[in-house]
Amino acid sequence: MSRQNQWIVGINAVWAAVEHDAGNVREVLLEAGARNPRLAEIEQQARRRDIDVRRVAQQALDGVAGGVRHQGVAARYAATRTWEEGDLPGLVEQAGGRALLLVLDGVQDPHNLGACLRSAAAAGATAVVIPKDRSAQVTATVRKTSAGAADRIPVVRATNLARTLSGLQKLGVWIYGLAGDAGAPLYALDLRGNVALVLGGEADGLRRLTREHCDELVSIPMPGQETSPGVESLNVSVAAGVALFEAVRQRAG
């Protein structure tokens, strides 16, 4: 795991950083003259935690945001974590036989990735695994969409996803891929132990090699498709939320 400095922008993302990880927030920039009461709350919270707060022109925020809509606030964050494949054994071990991993095989849309991270953090997932190539990465847009979850849950970047899945199997993790053409339903699985839920990208779903490294392929039952055959499949972030919270439901029971 390595660390690097980055700017995070947007009200929800900055609020989450100040609230949950203030020790790694180096400074907060607020748009001069902005009257949004939530910006005032962020300023008060930051000052209580001895974080430097500066009022700056909108152009300065535009510069650090890199084209992302900043909503009048940005924070310089000194502990953006980059997790690698070698960190997975430790994460699985720490989970004590109840690891819950979300594996995303080539999600391209940063908004979808951010929404998946938000669901994973809400579900208490152990980590999210994404490929280093041919996939959206954790950017300012992803952080904003995830409402700060991108910095609260380990996001592991895998050089070779098939190899990573094989390594997880050796650690005692069951790999379940979600595919619309699979016959077995998600709800028939036992998701209480070490589990990885694998979802494909927006356009093509799971790649061939990824499918071959899954212990089982399952689908999310959609009765609407039976009555209306033209209905589309679920968005990847919605499917991720459904699968993750089925695991949460089983573990709570």
Annotated binding-site positions: 200, 220, 234
Residue 88, H or E segment: helix 88-94
- As a whole number of angstroms, the distance between CA 18 and CA 30 comes to 13
CA within 13 Å, CB half, 111: 3
Instruction: State the binding site for S-adenosyl-L-methionine.
Output: 200, 220, 234
Q: Please name which of 122, 108, 32, 115 lies closest in space to residue 72, comparing C-alpha atoms.
A: 32
- Contact between residue 61 and residue 68 where contact means Cβ atoms under 8 Å apart: no
Q: 242-253 burial by CB neighbour count: b if 16+ within 10 A, else e?
A: bbbebbbeeeee
* Strands 73-84, 52-56: pairing kind: unpaired
Instruction: With beta carbons less than 8 A apart as the criterion, state whether 47 and 54 touch.
Output: no
| Under 8 Å between Cβ of 71 and 42 | no
Cα–Cα distance for residue pair 7/35, rounded to 1 Å:
22
